[in-house]
A and B are shown apart, each in its own frame.
Chain A
Amino acid sequence: MSEKGLELFEERLTLIDNAIKFKENSRVPIYGLVSNWMLYYLGMSAKEALANPDAEREGYNKAVGEFKFDALLSSLIQLPSVAAKVLGGGSITDNESDVLQIRTSDSELMGPDEYDELIADPVGFMRDKIMPRRHEFLKSGDIEAQYATLKEFYDLGAVRGMQMGKNEQYLKEELGVPVPAAGGGFMPTDIILDYLRDFSGIMVDIRRQPEKVCEASLAMLEPMIKSVDAANPVPRRDKLIAIFTHIPGYISPKAFEIVYWPQFKKYLEHFSSKGHRWMILYEKNWEHLYDFLLDSPKKSILGFFEEDDIFKGKKVLEGSIAFAGGIRTNDLYYKSKQENIDIVKRVIDECAPGGGLVLAPDKVMHTNADGKTENLQAVIDFAQEYGKYK
């Protein structure tokens, strides 16, 4: 264990915490919203990383040390799920790609007339109806064979979990880099979208039976809160409950108010009242929903905004939600080093005063098209100096 590492770890936690609270900071923190892009940086394929976890870990840690991020999305790369293959793939695309992808148009597992069943017993409905519709092997064979398949699935997941846990400890103790994301799950409406009704199904439901979507989401929220409560029994200085949102960017404020906001607000308030803080990935554009966001718990959320205009968003959400962004992946790939520096300079000039700013890529970096190494490095080097509060 390195004393310097732990000291740095504490410094970085303070940077993030101060940003969330809009408190005075020594400099603007930089969040490494980076996933499989690291594979490109390392010149390694996902297949090679899977075959050689030691090389993956060593390469990842070397890259983390070089980029000097103040926090990371994950303690290792998000590899294609070997475990999912054991179940027959599920919703994961098996395409030999280096990116973990969810197969589209393959998740209409629930009918539009089944909402009442989902509302009456969300866990029972998903167990009895959705699980066998998702996985063919659950429709036949004896229970011991099914159990053996599931055990293999969980054993593989546990191995990866241990690798990630062990490396999170290393990142903390030796490199001083926190990995704040704590499991907060997906919001129930997003589970309905991703795994029950698929995109076209839920969009029709939102038009034709929005109250049912809302009721189902609230019914699903109850067991979800219990589960997340148990996983996060007390607030931790090094952890933020993480939520990745999916559907809000596609729906109107009116629809959002009916189907999404009730569960979202209830969820945020439940954990905020206990002192938890959040990192929320507001996927797509949320500018039409700022009136709702302003009613979120204040100074306890680090919001990663994918497509929002940072200059507008930072101003509107000032004093409420800390804004993470300002480094556009598109610019990192297509623009020059100097152009990227100029963009980040403007972000710091206009958005850093008053606190509440964390520099981060606007999207999770997955592929090499999400940014050129030299541009990302140049932006970070620049921001570490220029982003100091005087």
Chain B
Amino acid sequence: MPRETGEPTAENRPVPVWLMVLLFALLYWGMVFFDRSSGWFDAEVYAPYASLADLQAFQPRGGGFSAEHFRTIYESNCGLCHGNDGKGKPSQAPPYVGSDWVTGSPNRMIRIPLSGLSGPVQVNGTEWNLSMPAMGATLSDDDLAGVLTYIRQTFGSKASPITPEQVKKVKAEIGAHPPWTAQELQAVE
């Protein structure tokens, strides 16, 4: 009668060395990959950019002011009432197109957005009696000069540009002024 063998039992075997090496190599690669392309979970770093330094290298150079920039300012500040085409809107705002307020004296034009304009005003032979708030008071000198230049040169006229220095000078001259009337502005050269 053959002797019964006992139940087979599992034995301990050491983890093979090659597997350990492979795992460490994978771990190392994973850490390098994370370091290179995670942006370290920075909230400002989105997919095509690998890190904050990478993102900074792609920032626009030198101000980045362009016609497009001032068009954006125009459409978000002036265009709502004066129309994106500068033709004005009935009972909201007079047109820029063909207006001598636009092509006329820069000093006069700069004053309007800085303090607003209320009361009757003649534009293209039509009388408007509305009230414009000081829409440009919060814009920087550069932005206000740029957007006024945009208005002067876009809507069918090619008047002289307005510089930030001119805006700065006018700001210093008028200080905090209540809304202008058309008569006050006509007196400005």
Physical interaction between A and B: no
Which A residues are within 8 Å of any B CB, using their own CB?
Answer: none
Which B residues are within 8 Å of any A CB, using their own CB?
Answer: none
